Amino acid sequence: MNSIISILQKLFSKELDLLTTEINAYPTEESLWGVDGNIKNPGGNLCLHLCGNLQHFVGNVLGKTDYVRNREAEFADKNVPKATLLQQIQTTKESVKAALAQLPAEKLNEEYPIQVFGEPMTTEYFLTHLLAHLSYHRGQINYHRRLLGER
């Protein structure tokens, strides 16, 4: 039987691998950063956001890394090379894997160390939220790539 930590490890790894696939599928560096009409968050910025989010909330808070998040830069930085984005995804994957590997199962039912939404929640609840957040934005990246990627 798989523990919830094992399941979370597999799902985060799978989603981050799919994020790598999405970023690699952009036909040009420029298409990663295209905006049009109401589309204000291009795939490149969503990728930076996902990496920053996971490295902070999983890597730093749970895994005790020295990662310092700059959320504003996740949306403000532009024209970051595809190779840099791919390296950030790999670093994020390693950070999440290491943090979850050392997380004792009993911590899942304890309160997450910081309040994120203005109220307490369990670590298990928040990790599930982070996985859904990753999947949601990965879907947005897929849509962005297909909608604007060929221009």
The tens digit of pLDDT for each residue in 80-130 reads 999 999 999 999 999 999 999 999 999 999 999 999 999 999 999 999 999
Sign of the torsion formed by the C-alpha atoms of 7, 111, 128 and 21: negative
Match 């996902």 to its residue by tokens. 50
pLDDT, one tens digit per residue, over 8-52 is 999 999 999 999 999 999 999 999 999 988 888 999 999 999 999
Look at the chain and count its residues: 151
pLDDT given at position 40 = 87
Amino acid at 109: N
Q: Which two tokens stand for residue 10?
A: 């597999």
Q: Which two tokens stand for residue 150?
A: 């060929």
pLDDT given at position 151 = 47
pLDDT given at position 149 = 60
pLDDT given at position 37 = 82
pLDDT given at position 137 = 98
pLDDT given at position 124 = 97
CB atoms within 10 A of CB 62: 21
Q: What is the mean pLDDT of residues 51-79?
A: 97
Domain ranges in the chain? 4-148
pLDDT given at position 95 = 98
Whole-number Å distance between alpha carbons of 120 and 50: 22
pLDDT given at position 147 = 87
State the distance between the two ends of the chain, measured CA to CA, in whole angstroms: 47
- What pTM value is reported for the model? 0.95
pLDDT given at position 1 = 44
One CATH from 1.20.120.450, 3.40.190.290, 1.10.1370.30, 3.40.350.10 for 4-148: 1.20.120.450
